[in-house]
Chains A and B, each alone.
Chain A
Amino acid sequence: MAEKKYIIKQVSIFSENKPGRLAAIARALEEAGINILAFSIAEANGFGVVRALVNKPEKAHDCLTKLGFMISFTDVIAVAMRDEPGGLFEIARILGDAGVNIEYSYAYSGKDAAVLILRVDQVEEGIDRILAAGGKLLSVDLFQ
């Protein structure tokens, strides 16, 4: 399946909303020589979920698990966006028209283009639609 190469493993880490928790995660990744490529925190009262794309997801999973963190992999996709007004609209419209729901997303400004990380309810459908509309997806090997 062609879609496979666009499905990226995001690490999702549960974290109590307390001083020092993010520092503990970041230090563990540093010590394991893992680079964080994209990153976001979603917070609720008392706890949060740290979401990150890293260059060595399996290794990140192992070292954080050893430290007692609750961690899971989540399939996400990364879309290159035009870094100008309307870039986000284009992608959101494609998915919206296709009935694919965006559960959450975060963005970062990459070297060549802006990158939108998306967690959608129908991953393969989302990939197909974006490709069919001429969009550009970042492949998984860029994140490993």
Chain B
Amino acid sequence: MMMWDPRVEEMPVEDVKKLQYRLLKTLVYRLYSFSDFYHTRMREAGVHPDDVRTLGDITKLPFMHKSDLRDNYPNRIFTAPQEEIARYHVSSGTTGKPTVVGYTANDLELWTTSLARALTSCGVGRGDVFQVSYGYGLFTGGLGLHYGVERVGATVLPTSTGNTERQIELMQDLHVTAIACTPSYLMHLGETAGKMGISIANDTDLRLAVLGAEPWSEQMRKKIQENLGIKAYDIYGTSELSGPMFTECAEQNGIHIWGDIAYPEIIDPETGEQLPPGEKGELVMTILKKEALPMIRYRLGDITSLDDSVCACGRTSPRITRIRGRVDDMLIVRGINVFPSQVEHTLMGIPEVDGSAFQIEVDRRGALDSMLVRVEMSKEAFSDKINELMKVRAKVVHQLKSSLNVAADVELVAPGTLPRFEGKAKRVIDRRVY
């Protein structure tokens, strides 16, 4: 079994824990001393770095939330001066203000190292031609994978997103062997290839895919592997952690979280209590060595569980199982995070509709997601002239698109016709089958 860095990947669990404790202790002291944000947080929580005496004492430290990043927009929690920042990435800002993440040269190095180990573990290396079909730019997917692929010595084909037919042509012409993209885009690619008379399984050299940025299931994996004749691996990460960082190994049995880079916890989202391995809960991650934007106990909102048994591949790091859902009501549509609360916020700003009465329907047409927002018109906006109503609809379509960054179809309905809710509103009908 090929390993990028066997010294840490096979390190005995006890040694990993000692290393993690040392890194955590250093991190906590550094942040207590040099970060106003963390200093205040720890003071408010009544915890001093001296209180961290074992790795388990991490639970004494306060959580960090996405709202902390937004409230401190753009870079008030950064702990490195601007001249040390080597790169910024910016999230789409689906739930309001975008969040800005920054990296020092060491942070970028750590990110690349993490992915180099991950890609090696699923068999990518020198000789491979790797097509990166994640978006390049502010989104972390494209550039993140790009440097990881370069590091393992494979050839990068930075196609980014879009222009599917050209992607397929290039895949054939340049003998692409591996690809990274969303699972739904890979399905779409397969379908488009079919229409062009090309079979991914028989007419290309593609042998594996690293898939993520949206939830997908074992059934979907099976379908992709059978239809396209390749191996499909799950990848995990978010911009707050750096970007995509962790993948499954060739065993396809959970995503390896490198012990010297990150410390994962699973908590009960209601009580915040840490849960033991095997139990399902919210993923919380501490990145042990970040410089520009440190992350201690960051609540990711993803539901998963931890498997700390030694993997059949020989790697000792714990694994997280497939993401089973979200703590909040976030939807992922075409790889973009969509919160019903953001849809509501947008609709509330349009006087011609009643933003408190809406429903989101998500379907999968072919391999791509489609989203329909049904919203009640306000009585005053009703006109007997169709073009006036079409204008209202176009306005809603436009405003949703600009706030969500993903297109939604809009259906205007009469007041009082959508279901009302006494308790928590059920705004989303998700008919997608992964």
A contacts, CB < 8 Å to B: 10, 12, 14-16, 42-44, 46-49, 51, 68-70, 72, 74, 103-104, 119
Contacts and interface: CB of A to CB of B under 8 A. Distances in A.
Contacts of A49: 383-386, 389
A16 B384 contact: no
Interface residues of B, number: 17
CB-based closest 4 A-B pairs: A12-B384, A46-B411, A70-B414, A74-B384
Contacts of B416: 68
Nearest to B380: A72
B270 to A, nearest CB: 39
A16 B386 contact: no
A47 B385 contact: no
Contacts of A44: 386, 389-390, 393
Contacts of B412: 46-47
A16 B413 contact: yes
Given A44-B389, A68-B417, A70-B379, A51 B411 contact: no
A68 B386 contact: no
A103 B385 CA distance: 8
Interface in B375-389: 377, 379, 382-386, 389
A68 B385 contact: no
B162 interface: no
A42 B388 CA distance: 12
Contacts of B386: 42-44, 48-49
Contacts of A72: 382-384
A47 B384 contact: no
A62 B416 CA distance: 16
B411 to A, nearest CB: 4
Contacts of A47: 389, 411-413
Given A68-B416, A70-B379, A72-B382, 18 more contacts: A14-B377, A14-B389, A16-B411, A42-B386, A44-B386, A44-B389, A46-B393, A47-B389, A47-B411, A47-B413, A48-B386, A49-B384, A49-B385, A68-B414, A69-B414, A70-B382, A70-B414, A104-B385
A48 B390 CA distance: 10
Contacts of A119: 384-385
Contact of A14 (B382, B390, B393): B382
B96 interface: no
Q: Which of A46, A72, A104 has the most CB of B within 10 A?
A: A46
Contacts of B390: 44
Interface string B379-413: 10011111001100100000000000000000111
B415 interface: yes
Contacts of B382: 12, 14, 70, 72
A49 B414 CA distance: 11
A71 to B, nearest CB: 8
A140 B411 CA distance: 36
Contacts of B411: 16, 46-47
A28 to B, nearest CB: 14
Contacts of A42: 386
A88 B102 CA distance: 70
Contact of B377 (A12, A43, A70, A104): A70
A16 B389 contact: no
Contacts of A10: 384
A70 to B, nearest CB: 4
Contacts of A70: 377, 379, 382, 414-415
13 contacts: A10-B384, A12-B384, A14-B414, A15-B414, A16-B411, A16-B413, A44-B393, A46-B412, A68-B414, A68-B417, A69-B414, A72-B382, A72-B384
